[in-house]
Chain A
Protein backbone atom coordinates (compact mmCIF):
# COMPACT_ATOMS: atom_id res chain seq x y z
CA UNK A 1 0.00 0.00 0.00
CA UNK A 2 2.36 2.66 1.24
CA UNK A 3 5.17 2.18 -1.28
CA UNK A 4 6.16 4.35 -4.21
CA UNK A 5 4.83 3.12 -7.53
CA UNK A 6 7.15 3.10 -10.56
CA UNK A 7 5.25 6.11 -11.76
CA UNK A 8 5.98 7.98 -8.51
CA UNK A 9 9.66 7.16 -8.82
CA UNK A 10 9.75 8.37 -12.39
CA UNK A 11 8.08 11.68 -11.51
CA UNK A 12 10.62 12.10 -8.73
CA UNK A 13 13.56 11.54 -11.09
CA UNK A 14 12.16 13.94 -13.68
CA UNK A 15 11.62 16.51 -10.98
CA UNK A 16 15.28 16.28 -9.92
CA UNK A 17 16.49 16.62 -13.50
CA UNK A 18 14.26 19.65 -14.05
CA UNK A 19 15.52 21.34 -10.91
CA UNK A 20 19.15 20.75 -11.90
CA UNK A 21 18.52 22.19 -15.37
CA UNK A 22 16.91 25.33 -14.00
CA UNK A 23 19.70 25.74 -11.47
CA UNK A 24 22.36 25.46 -14.20
CA UNK A 25 20.58 28.10 -16.27
CA UNK A 26 20.65 30.43 -13.28
CA UNK A 27 24.35 29.79 -12.73
CA UNK A 28 25.05 30.42 -16.41
CA UNK A 29 23.31 33.75 -15.98
CA UNK A 30 25.11 34.85 -12.84
CA UNK A 31 28.67 33.81 -13.74
CA UNK A 32 29.24 36.30 -16.61
CA UNK A 33 27.92 39.14 -14.45
CA UNK A 34 30.29 38.19 -11.63
CA UNK A 35 33.21 37.93 -14.03
CA UNK A 36 32.49 41.36 -15.51
CA UNK A 37 32.15 43.05 -12.14
CA UNK A 38 35.23 41.30 -10.73
CA UNK A 39 37.39 42.16 -13.76
CA UNK A 40 36.30 45.79 -13.61
CA UNK A 41 36.96 45.97 -9.89
CA UNK A 42 40.42 44.39 -10.16
CA UNK A 43 41.63 46.25 -13.24
CA UNK A 44 39.81 49.54 -12.75
CA UNK A 45 39.82 49.77 -8.98
CA UNK A 46 43.35 51.18 -8.68
CA UNK A 47 42.43 54.07 -10.99
CA UNK A 48 39.65 55.31 -8.73
CA UNK A 49 40.58 58.27 -6.56
CA UNK A 50 39.18 61.70 -5.67
CA UNK A 51 41.48 63.14 -8.26
CA UNK A 52 40.15 60.72 -10.89
CA UNK A 53 36.55 61.67 -10.14
CA UNK A 54 37.03 65.42 -9.82
CA UNK A 55 39.60 66.54 -12.41
CA UNK A 56 39.29 66.82 -16.18
CA UNK A 57 41.22 64.51 -18.53
CA UNK A 58 44.74 65.50 -19.65
CA UNK A 59 47.23 64.61 -22.39
CA UNK A 60 44.78 63.62 -25.14
CA UNK A 61 42.60 61.66 -22.73
CA UNK A 62 45.50 59.41 -21.75
CA UNK A 63 45.70 60.75 -18.22
CA UNK A 64 43.75 62.76 -15.67
CA UNK A 65 40.19 62.31 -14.48
CA UNK A 66 36.59 62.15 -15.67
CA UNK A 67 34.95 65.14 -14.03
CA UNK A 68 33.38 66.65 -17.22
CA UNK A 69 32.00 63.25 -18.25
CA UNK A 70 30.55 62.60 -14.81
CA UNK A 71 28.88 66.00 -14.65
CA UNK A 72 27.73 65.69 -18.27
CA UNK A 73 26.04 62.36 -17.59
CA UNK A 74 24.17 63.92 -14.67
CA UNK A 75 23.00 66.80 -16.89
CA UNK A 76 21.85 64.42 -19.62
CA UNK A 77 19.95 62.19 -17.21
CA UNK A 78 18.27 65.04 -15.32
CA UNK A 79 17.11 66.85 -18.46
CA UNK A 80 15.90 63.55 -19.96
CA UNK A 81 13.90 62.90 -16.78
CA UNK A 82 12.36 66.36 -16.83
CA UNK A 83 11.15 65.68 -20.36
CA UNK A 84 10.02 62.08 -20.13
CA UNK A 85 8.49 61.73 -16.65
CA UNK A 86 5.67 64.30 -16.93
CA UNK A 87 4.74 63.16 -20.44
CA UNK A 88 5.10 59.45 -19.67
CA UNK A 89 3.14 59.55 -16.42
CA UNK A 90 0.38 61.67 -17.96
CA UNK A 91 0.11 59.36 -20.98
CA UNK A 92 -0.02 56.31 -18.72
CA UNK A 93 -2.77 57.89 -16.61
CA UNK A 94 -4.77 58.61 -19.73
CA UNK A 95 -4.29 55.11 -21.14
CA UNK A 96 -5.03 53.35 -17.87
CA UNK A 97 -7.77 55.53 -16.35
CA UNK A 98 -9.55 57.39 -19.13
CA UNK A 99 -9.08 55.74 -22.51
CA UNK A 100 -11.94 53.52 -23.65
CA UNK A 101 -10.91 49.99 -24.54
CA UNK A 102 -11.12 50.28 -28.32
CA UNK A 103 -9.01 49.68 -31.39
CA UNK A 104 -7.23 53.02 -31.12
CA UNK A 105 -6.19 52.45 -27.51
CA UNK A 106 -4.99 48.96 -28.26
CA UNK A 107 -3.01 50.26 -31.24
CA UNK A 108 -1.39 52.90 -29.06
CA UNK A 109 -0.47 50.32 -26.44
CA UNK A 110 1.06 48.13 -29.11
CA UNK A 111 3.00 51.11 -30.49
CA UNK A 112 4.43 51.82 -27.04
CA UNK A 113 5.66 48.26 -26.70
CA UNK A 114 7.20 48.51 -30.16
CA UNK A 115 8.84 51.81 -29.26
CA UNK A 116 10.57 49.98 -26.41
CA UNK A 117 11.96 47.50 -28.92
CA UNK A 118 13.44 50.04 -31.33
CA UNK A 119 17.27 49.77 -31.36
CA UNK A 120 18.98 52.71 -29.70
CA UNK A 121 20.92 53.62 -32.86
CA UNK A 122 17.60 54.19 -34.60
CA UNK A 123 16.57 56.50 -31.77
CA UNK A 124 19.92 58.24 -32.23
CA UNK A 125 19.30 58.89 -35.92
CA UNK A 126 15.76 60.02 -35.14
CA UNK A 127 17.25 62.41 -32.57
CA UNK A 128 19.64 63.85 -35.15
CA UNK A 129 16.82 64.37 -37.64
CA UNK A 130 14.23 65.67 -35.22
CA UNK A 131 16.00 67.56 -32.45
CA UNK A 132 19.43 68.48 -33.82
CA UNK A 133 18.31 69.49 -37.31
CA UNK A 134 14.54 70.02 -37.51
CA UNK A 135 14.01 71.77 -34.18
CA UNK A 136 17.42 73.41 -34.49
CA UNK A 137 18.70 72.43 -31.07
CA UNK A 138 22.08 71.62 -32.61
CA UNK A 139 24.33 69.04 -30.99
CA UNK A 140 23.56 69.89 -27.40
CA UNK A 141 22.53 68.47 -24.06
CA UNK A 142 18.96 69.38 -24.97
CA UNK A 143 18.96 67.33 -28.18
CA UNK A 144 20.74 64.39 -26.54
CA UNK A 145 18.44 64.40 -23.51
CA UNK A 146 15.31 64.60 -25.64
CA UNK A 147 16.58 61.63 -27.64
CA UNK A 148 17.15 59.72 -24.40
CA UNK A 149 13.68 60.80 -23.23
CA UNK A 150 12.01 59.43 -26.35
CA UNK A 151 13.94 56.20 -25.94
CA UNK A 152 13.02 55.74 -22.28
CA UNK A 153 9.42 56.96 -22.56
CA UNK A 154 8.03 53.42 -23.03
CA UNK A 155 9.72 52.32 -19.79
CA UNK A 156 8.06 55.13 -17.87
CA UNK A 157 4.67 54.57 -19.51
CA UNK A 158 4.65 50.81 -19.02
CA UNK A 159 5.89 51.01 -15.41
CA UNK A 160 3.35 53.68 -14.57
CA UNK A 161 0.49 51.93 -16.30
CA UNK A 162 1.24 48.67 -14.53
CA UNK A 163 1.41 50.28 -11.12
CA UNK A 164 -1.86 52.13 -11.79
CA UNK A 165 -3.53 48.91 -12.80
CA UNK A 166 -2.27 47.20 -9.66
CA UNK A 167 -4.64 49.40 -7.65
CA UNK A 168 -7.80 47.30 -7.22
CA UNK A 169 -10.72 48.46 -9.42
CA UNK A 170 -13.02 48.24 -6.38
CA UNK A 171 -11.34 51.33 -4.90
CA UNK A 172 -12.14 53.32 -8.01
CA UNK A 173 -15.73 52.12 -8.08
CA UNK A 174 -16.19 53.00 -4.43
CA UNK A 175 -15.03 56.55 -5.16
CA UNK A 176 -17.13 56.91 -8.30
CA UNK A 177 -20.18 55.74 -6.42
CA UNK A 178 -19.65 58.54 -3.93
CA UNK A 179 -19.73 61.03 -6.78
CA UNK A 180 -15.99 61.52 -7.15
CA UNK A 181 -14.88 62.45 -10.66
CA UNK A 182 -12.27 60.36 -12.39
CA UNK A 183 -9.61 62.96 -11.61
CA UNK A 184 -10.57 63.19 -7.92
CA UNK A 185 -10.39 59.41 -7.78
CA UNK A 186 -6.97 59.35 -9.42
CA UNK A 187 -5.57 62.11 -7.22
CA UNK A 188 -6.89 60.87 -3.89
CA UNK A 189 -6.83 57.10 -4.24
CA UNK A 190 -5.09 55.77 -7.34
CA UNK A 191 -1.90 57.86 -7.44
CA UNK A 192 -1.07 57.69 -3.71
CA UNK A 193 -1.20 53.92 -3.97
CA UNK A 194 0.80 53.53 -7.16
CA UNK A 195 3.54 56.09 -6.57
CA UNK A 196 6.03 53.39 -5.57
CA UNK A 197 5.78 51.61 -8.90
CA UNK A 198 5.99 54.88 -10.79
CA UNK A 199 9.15 55.93 -8.95
CA UNK A 200 10.68 52.52 -9.57
CA UNK A 201 10.11 52.99 -13.29
CA UNK A 202 11.68 56.42 -13.12
CA UNK A 203 14.80 55.15 -11.38
CA UNK A 204 15.16 52.34 -13.90
CA UNK A 205 14.97 54.94 -16.60
CA UNK A 206 17.78 56.88 -14.92
CA UNK A 207 20.08 53.89 -14.97
CA UNK A 208 19.28 53.14 -18.58
CA UNK A 209 19.82 56.72 -19.70
CA UNK A 210 23.15 56.87 -17.89
CA UNK A 211 24.46 53.82 -19.69
CA UNK A 212 23.32 54.47 -23.27
CA UNK A 213 25.91 55.60 -25.79
CA UNK A 214 24.36 55.50 -29.24
CA UNK A 215 21.53 58.01 -28.67
CA UNK A 216 23.90 60.71 -27.41
CA UNK A 217 26.96 60.26 -29.62
CA UNK A 218 25.49 62.15 -32.61
CA UNK A 219 23.18 64.43 -30.69
CA UNK A 220 25.13 66.09 -27.93
CA UNK A 221 28.06 64.15 -26.58
CA UNK A 222 31.57 65.16 -27.48
CA UNK A 223 34.84 63.33 -27.00
CA UNK A 224 36.82 65.99 -25.25
CA UNK A 225 35.90 69.24 -23.59
CA UNK A 226 37.46 70.40 -20.34
CA UNK A 227 34.74 72.87 -19.47
CA UNK A 228 31.66 71.82 -17.57
CA UNK A 229 28.37 72.50 -19.40
CA UNK A 230 26.81 75.86 -18.55
CA UNK A 231 23.40 75.40 -20.21
CA UNK A 232 21.35 72.78 -22.04
CA UNK A 233 22.54 74.24 -25.35
CA UNK A 234 26.15 73.20 -24.66
CA UNK A 235 27.82 70.05 -25.82
CA UNK A 236 29.12 67.84 -23.09
CA UNK A 237 31.23 64.82 -22.33
CA UNK A 238 29.42 61.78 -20.97
CA UNK A 239 30.69 58.68 -19.20
CA UNK A 240 29.30 56.15 -21.66
CA UNK A 241 30.60 57.97 -24.71
CA UNK A 242 33.92 58.71 -23.00
CA UNK A 243 34.37 55.01 -22.35
CA UNK A 244 33.54 54.13 -25.95
CA UNK A 245 35.96 56.77 -27.19
CA UNK A 246 39.01 55.98 -25.09
CA UNK A 247 38.50 52.24 -25.57
CA UNK A 248 38.20 52.28 -29.37
CA UNK A 249 39.09 55.63 -30.88
CA UNK A 250 42.12 56.80 -28.94
CA UNK A 251 45.54 55.20 -28.76
CA UNK A 252 47.87 55.23 -25.81
CA UNK A 253 45.19 55.21 -23.11
CA UNK A 254 46.36 53.17 -20.10
CA UNK A 255 44.18 50.10 -19.56
CA UNK A 256 43.70 51.07 -15.94
CA UNK A 257 42.02 54.31 -16.98
CA UNK A 258 39.57 52.61 -19.34
CA UNK A 259 38.58 50.06 -16.73
CA UNK A 260 38.26 52.84 -14.18
CA UNK A 261 35.68 54.66 -16.32
CA UNK A 262 33.78 51.41 -16.89
CA UNK A 263 33.82 50.74 -13.16
CA UNK A 264 32.38 54.19 -12.37
CA UNK A 265 29.69 53.79 -15.03
CA UNK A 266 28.60 50.34 -13.92
CA UNK A 267 28.68 51.47 -10.29
CA UNK A 268 26.26 54.30 -11.08
CA UNK A 269 23.91 51.90 -12.89
CA UNK A 270 24.07 49.27 -10.13
CA UNK A 271 23.64 51.91 -7.45
CA UNK A 272 20.55 53.25 -9.20
CA UNK A 273 19.09 49.76 -9.50
CA UNK A 274 19.85 49.06 -5.85
CA UNK A 275 18.13 52.31 -4.85
CA UNK A 276 15.18 51.36 -7.04
CA UNK A 277 14.86 47.91 -5.50
CA UNK A 278 15.20 49.03 -1.88
CA UNK A 279 12.75 51.84 -2.55
CA UNK A 280 10.24 49.36 -3.92
CA UNK A 281 10.71 47.06 -0.95
CA UNK A 282 10.31 49.97 1.47
CA UNK A 283 7.15 51.29 -0.17
CA UNK A 284 5.70 47.82 -0.41
CA UNK A 285 6.04 47.54 3.35
CA UNK A 286 3.82 50.64 3.64
CA UNK A 287 1.22 49.17 1.30
CA UNK A 288 -2.21 49.67 2.68
CA UNK A 289 -4.12 46.64 1.58
Chain B
Protein backbone atom coordinates (compact mmCIF):
# COMPACT_ATOMS: atom_id res chain seq x y z
CA UNK B 1 0.00 0.00 0.00
CA UNK B 2 2.80 2.40 0.93
CA UNK B 3 4.49 1.72 -2.38
CA UNK B 4 1.24 2.50 -4.17
CA UNK B 5 0.84 5.81 -2.33
CA UNK B 6 4.42 6.82 -3.12
CA UNK B 7 3.98 5.91 -6.78
CA UNK B 8 0.79 7.96 -6.99
CA UNK B 9 2.47 10.96 -5.34
CA UNK B 10 5.38 10.72 -7.76
CA UNK B 11 2.91 10.52 -10.63
CA UNK B 12 1.31 13.75 -9.43
CA UNK B 13 4.44 15.78 -10.12
CA UNK B 14 4.17 15.77 -13.94
CA UNK B 15 0.43 16.50 -13.65
CA UNK B 16 1.09 19.58 -11.53
CA UNK B 17 3.89 20.57 -13.89
CA UNK B 18 1.55 20.46 -16.92
CA UNK B 19 -1.13 22.43 -15.07
CA UNK B 20 1.43 25.04 -13.98
CA UNK B 21 2.71 25.40 -17.54
CA UNK B 22 -0.75 25.79 -19.11
CA UNK B 23 -1.88 28.23 -16.42
CA UNK B 24 1.32 30.26 -16.64
CA UNK B 25 1.13 30.86 -20.37
CA UNK B 26 -2.65 31.31 -20.42
CA UNK B 27 -2.65 34.08 -17.85
CA UNK B 28 0.40 35.73 -19.42
CA UNK B 29 -1.18 35.80 -22.87
CA UNK B 30 -4.19 37.70 -21.52
CA UNK B 31 -4.24 41.33 -22.60
CA UNK B 32 -3.49 43.86 -19.90
CA UNK B 33 -1.12 43.69 -16.97
CA UNK B 34 -1.21 44.01 -13.19
CA UNK B 35 -0.03 47.62 -13.24
CA UNK B 36 -2.35 49.00 -15.92
CA UNK B 37 -4.16 51.98 -14.45
CA UNK B 38 -6.74 54.36 -15.89
CA UNK B 39 -3.98 56.93 -16.16
CA UNK B 40 -0.82 55.22 -17.44
CA UNK B 41 2.19 55.36 -15.16
CA UNK B 42 5.28 57.30 -16.09
CA UNK B 43 7.33 55.09 -18.46
CA UNK B 44 10.37 55.32 -16.20
CA UNK B 45 8.39 54.18 -13.15
CA UNK B 46 6.78 51.43 -15.21
CA UNK B 47 10.22 50.24 -16.27
CA UNK B 48 11.40 50.13 -12.66
CA UNK B 49 8.31 48.22 -11.54
CA UNK B 50 8.72 45.73 -14.36
CA UNK B 51 12.35 45.24 -13.44
CA UNK B 52 11.52 44.76 -9.77
CA UNK B 53 9.04 41.99 -10.61
CA UNK B 54 11.21 40.48 -13.38
CA UNK B 55 8.51 41.35 -15.90
CA UNK B 56 11.10 42.89 -18.25
CA UNK B 57 12.73 39.53 -18.95
CA UNK B 58 11.60 37.32 -21.86
CA UNK B 59 8.62 35.12 -21.04
CA UNK B 60 10.54 31.82 -21.13
CA UNK B 61 13.07 33.19 -18.66
CA UNK B 62 10.27 34.27 -16.34
CA UNK B 63 8.77 30.81 -16.65
CA UNK B 64 11.94 29.08 -15.53
CA UNK B 65 12.46 31.62 -12.76
CA UNK B 66 8.94 30.83 -11.56
CA UNK B 67 9.55 27.08 -11.70
CA UNK B 68 12.80 27.51 -9.77
CA UNK B 69 11.08 29.51 -7.03
CA UNK B 70 8.17 27.06 -6.99
CA UNK B 71 10.56 24.17 -6.37
CA UNK B 72 11.69 26.02 -3.23
CA UNK B 73 8.11 26.60 -2.09
CA UNK B 74 8.11 30.28 -3.05
CA UNK B 75 5.01 31.37 -4.94
CA UNK B 76 6.28 34.91 -5.44
CA UNK B 77 4.95 38.29 -4.32
CA UNK B 78 1.32 39.22 -4.95
CA UNK B 79 1.06 41.91 -7.62
CA UNK B 80 -2.12 43.57 -6.43
CA UNK B 81 -1.84 43.15 -2.66
CA UNK B 82 1.34 45.04 -1.98
CA UNK B 83 3.64 43.77 0.77
CA UNK B 84 2.03 40.32 0.77
CA UNK B 85 3.59 37.28 -0.75
CA UNK B 86 1.21 34.69 -2.19
CA UNK B 87 2.37 32.24 0.47
CA UNK B 88 1.42 34.79 3.17
CA UNK B 89 -2.04 35.14 1.67
CA UNK B 90 -2.57 31.39 1.70
CA UNK B 91 -1.17 31.06 5.21
CA UNK B 92 -3.88 33.37 6.55
CA UNK B 93 -6.68 32.42 4.15
CA UNK B 94 -6.36 28.67 3.81
CA UNK B 95 -7.07 27.80 7.50
CA UNK B 96 -10.28 29.85 7.27
CA UNK B 97 -11.42 28.08 4.11
CA UNK B 98 -10.46 24.67 5.52
CA UNK B 99 -12.32 25.29 8.79
CA UNK B 100 -15.42 26.39 6.92
CA UNK B 101 -15.31 23.71 4.21
CA UNK B 102 -14.31 20.95 6.61
CA UNK B 103 -17.24 21.67 8.95
CA UNK B 104 -19.64 21.78 6.00
CA UNK B 105 -18.21 18.54 4.61
CA UNK B 106 -18.49 16.66 7.92
CA UNK B 107 -22.08 17.82 8.45
CA UNK B 108 -23.05 17.05 4.85
CA UNK B 109 -21.59 13.54 5.08
CA UNK B 110 -23.27 12.62 8.38
CA UNK B 111 -26.67 14.19 7.66
CA UNK B 112 -26.73 13.21 3.99
CA UNK B 113 -25.79 9.57 4.60
CA UNK B 114 -28.29 9.31 7.47
CA UNK B 115 -31.16 10.79 5.44
CA UNK B 116 -30.31 8.70 2.39
CA UNK B 117 -30.15 5.45 4.36
CA UNK B 118 -33.39 6.34 6.16
CA UNK B 119 -35.16 7.00 2.86
CA UNK B 120 -33.88 3.71 1.44
CA UNK B 121 -35.06 1.71 4.47
CA UNK B 122 -38.49 3.36 4.30
CA UNK B 123 -38.68 3.25 0.50
CA UNK B 124 -41.98 4.52 -0.97
CA UNK B 125 -43.27 5.88 2.32
CA UNK B 126 -43.77 9.55 3.15
CA UNK B 127 -40.27 9.64 4.72
CA UNK B 128 -38.80 8.59 1.40
CA UNK B 129 -40.85 11.12 -0.56
CA UNK B 130 -39.91 13.90 1.87
CA UNK B 131 -36.19 13.15 1.57
CA UNK B 132 -36.25 12.83 -2.22
CA UNK B 133 -38.35 15.98 -2.63
CA UNK B 134 -36.16 18.04 -0.32
CA UNK B 135 -33.07 16.70 -2.05
CA UNK B 136 -34.39 17.84 -5.45
CA UNK B 137 -34.94 21.27 -3.93
CA UNK B 138 -31.43 21.35 -2.49
CA UNK B 139 -29.85 20.34 -5.79
CA UNK B 140 -31.84 22.83 -7.87
CA UNK B 141 -31.42 26.04 -5.87
CA UNK B 142 -27.99 27.52 -6.58
CA UNK B 143 -25.63 28.57 -3.80
CA UNK B 144 -25.74 32.19 -4.80
CA UNK B 145 -29.49 32.19 -4.14
CA UNK B 146 -29.36 30.21 -0.88
CA UNK B 147 -26.56 32.33 0.60
CA UNK B 148 -28.16 35.80 0.32
CA UNK B 149 -31.62 34.46 1.23
CA UNK B 150 -30.29 32.81 4.41
CA UNK B 151 -28.33 35.94 5.24
CA UNK B 152 -31.38 38.13 4.60
CA UNK B 153 -33.76 36.01 6.66
CA UNK B 154 -31.67 34.96 9.67
CA UNK B 155 -29.24 37.86 9.68
CA UNK B 156 -31.17 40.93 8.59
CA UNK B 157 -34.86 40.24 9.22
CA UNK B 158 -34.69 38.01 12.32
CA UNK B 159 -31.34 39.22 13.64
CA UNK B 160 -30.59 35.81 15.17
CA UNK B 161 -27.19 35.40 13.56
CA UNK B 162 -24.61 37.76 12.08
CA UNK B 163 -25.47 38.41 8.42
CA UNK B 164 -21.81 38.17 7.43
CA UNK B 165 -18.24 38.42 8.59
CA UNK B 166 -15.87 35.91 10.11
CA UNK B 167 -15.52 37.00 13.75
CA UNK B 168 -12.42 34.89 14.27
CA UNK B 169 -14.31 31.69 13.44
CA UNK B 170 -16.79 31.81 16.33
CA UNK B 171 -19.73 29.45 15.83
CA UNK B 172 -22.34 32.18 15.31
CA UNK B 173 -20.42 33.35 12.28
CA UNK B 174 -19.98 29.82 10.98
CA UNK B 175 -23.64 28.75 10.98
CA UNK B 176 -24.95 30.47 7.85
CA UNK B 177 -21.96 29.91 5.53
CA UNK B 178 -21.65 26.29 6.65
CA UNK B 179 -25.37 25.79 6.06
CA UNK B 180 -25.05 27.31 2.58
CA UNK B 181 -22.15 25.05 1.69
CA UNK B 182 -23.62 21.93 3.30
CA UNK B 183 -27.24 22.04 2.03
CA UNK B 184 -26.60 21.14 -1.65
CA UNK B 185 -24.06 18.51 -0.59
CA UNK B 186 -26.53 16.99 1.87
CA UNK B 187 -29.02 16.75 -0.98
CA UNK B 188 -26.60 15.06 -3.37
CA UNK B 189 -25.15 12.70 -0.75
CA UNK B 190 -28.65 11.73 0.41
CA UNK B 191 -29.66 10.86 -3.15
CA UNK B 192 -26.48 8.87 -3.78
CA UNK B 193 -26.78 6.98 -0.48
CA UNK B 194 -30.47 6.24 -1.05
CA UNK B 195 -29.87 4.73 -4.48
CA UNK B 196 -26.85 2.70 -3.38
CA UNK B 197 -28.54 1.47 -0.20
CA UNK B 198 -31.61 0.27 -2.09
CA UNK B 199 -29.30 -1.68 -4.36
CA UNK B 200 -27.18 -3.00 -1.50
CA UNK B 201 -30.23 -4.22 0.42
CA UNK B 202 -31.08 -6.46 -2.52
CA UNK B 203 -27.56 -7.85 -2.90
CA UNK B 204 -26.45 -11.36 -2.08
CA UNK B 205 -24.17 -10.60 0.83
CA UNK B 206 -26.92 -8.72 2.67
CA UNK B 207 -29.34 -11.59 2.08
CA UNK B 208 -26.71 -13.99 3.42
CA UNK B 209 -26.19 -11.82 6.50
CA UNK B 210 -29.94 -11.85 7.07
CA UNK B 211 -30.01 -15.63 6.63
CA UNK B 212 -27.37 -16.00 9.33
CA UNK B 213 -29.84 -14.35 11.64
CA UNK B 214 -27.76 -11.23 12.35
CA UNK B 215 -29.69 -8.44 14.02
CA UNK B 216 -31.02 -5.95 11.50
CA UNK B 217 -28.91 -3.04 12.78
CA UNK B 218 -25.80 -5.10 12.03
CA UNK B 219 -27.11 -6.10 8.61
CA UNK B 220 -27.91 -2.50 7.68
CA UNK B 221 -25.26 -0.63 9.65
CA UNK B 222 -22.30 -2.86 8.77
CA UNK B 223 -23.03 -4.89 5.68
CA UNK B 224 -25.38 -2.74 3.61
CA UNK B 225 -24.02 0.71 4.45
CA UNK B 226 -20.43 -0.34 3.86
CA UNK B 227 -21.32 -1.19 0.28
CA UNK B 228 -23.68 1.76 -0.07
CA UNK B 229 -21.12 4.35 0.97
CA UNK B 230 -18.80 3.55 -1.97
CA UNK B 231 -20.41 5.88 -4.56
CA UNK B 232 -20.54 8.61 -1.90
CA UNK B 233 -16.82 8.18 -1.28
CA UNK B 234 -15.97 8.57 -4.95
CA UNK B 235 -18.22 11.63 -5.17
CA UNK B 236 -16.53 13.11 -2.11
CA UNK B 237 -13.06 13.27 -3.66
CA UNK B 238 -13.47 16.30 -5.94
CA UNK B 239 -16.18 17.75 -3.68
CA UNK B 240 -13.93 17.78 -0.63
CA UNK B 241 -11.20 19.49 -2.63
CA UNK B 242 -13.67 22.12 -3.85
CA UNK B 243 -15.14 22.76 -0.40
CA UNK B 244 -11.80 22.99 1.41
CA UNK B 245 -10.30 25.41 -1.09
CA UNK B 246 -13.17 27.82 -0.50
CA UNK B 247 -16.22 28.89 -2.43
CA UNK B 248 -16.06 32.23 -4.18
CA UNK B 249 -19.82 32.77 -3.80
CA UNK B 250 -20.03 32.04 -0.09
CA UNK B 251 -16.90 34.00 0.73
CA UNK B 252 -18.08 37.01 -1.26
CA UNK B 253 -21.59 37.12 0.20
CA UNK B 254 -20.63 36.49 3.82
CA UNK B 255 -17.41 38.50 3.63
CA UNK B 256 -15.17 35.65 4.73
CA UNK B 257 -11.40 36.07 4.42
CA UNK B 258 -10.73 32.68 2.79
CA UNK B 259 -8.94 31.82 -0.43
CA UNK B 260 -12.03 31.14 -2.56
CA UNK B 261 -12.11 34.68 -3.92
CA UNK B 262 -8.47 34.77 -4.92
CA UNK B 263 -8.84 33.16 -8.32
CA UNK B 264 -11.52 35.51 -9.66
CA UNK B 265 -9.97 38.59 -8.07
CA UNK B 266 -6.52 37.57 -9.26
CA UNK B 267 -7.69 36.87 -12.81
CA UNK B 268 -9.52 40.21 -13.01
CA UNK B 269 -6.57 42.17 -11.57
CA UNK B 270 -4.00 40.22 -13.65
CA UNK B 271 -2.35 39.22 -10.39
CA UNK B 272 -0.26 36.55 -12.15
CA UNK B 273 1.32 35.00 -9.09
CA UNK B 274 -1.93 34.89 -7.12
CA UNK B 275 -3.75 33.11 -9.98
CA UNK B 276 -0.90 30.65 -10.36
CA UNK B 277 -0.79 30.03 -6.63
CA UNK B 278 -4.54 29.37 -6.49
CA UNK B 279 -4.37 26.99 -9.45
CA UNK B 280 -1.50 25.06 -7.84
CA UNK B 281 -3.17 24.84 -4.42
CA UNK B 282 -6.45 23.65 -5.93
CA UNK B 283 -4.69 21.13 -8.18
CA UNK B 284 -2.81 19.73 -5.19
CA UNK B 285 -6.01 19.38 -3.19
CA UNK B 286 -7.74 17.60 -6.08
CA UNK B 287 -4.84 15.18 -6.52
CA UNK B 288 -4.56 14.55 -2.78
CA UNK B 289 -8.26 13.85 -2.35
CA UNK B 290 -8.43 11.58 -5.36
CA UNK B 291 -5.63 9.59 -3.76
CA UNK B 292 -7.45 9.48 -0.41
CA UNK B 293 -10.59 8.27 -2.19
CA UNK B 294 -8.68 5.45 -3.87
CA UNK B 295 -7.15 4.39 -0.55
CA UNK B 296 -10.56 4.50 1.15
CA UNK B 297 -11.90 2.31 -1.64
CA UNK B 298 -9.32 -0.34 -0.82
CA UNK B 299 -10.24 -0.13 2.86
CA UNK B 300 -14.00 -0.32 2.28
CA UNK B 301 -14.08 -2.81 -0.56
CA UNK B 302 -11.89 -5.85 0.07
CA UNK B 303 -12.00 -6.75 -3.62
CA UNK B 304 -9.89 -3.68 -4.48
CA UNK B 305 -6.16 -4.32 -4.21
CA UNK B 306 -3.37 -2.02 -5.29
CA UNK B 307 -0.28 -4.19 -4.87
Chain A bound to chain B: no
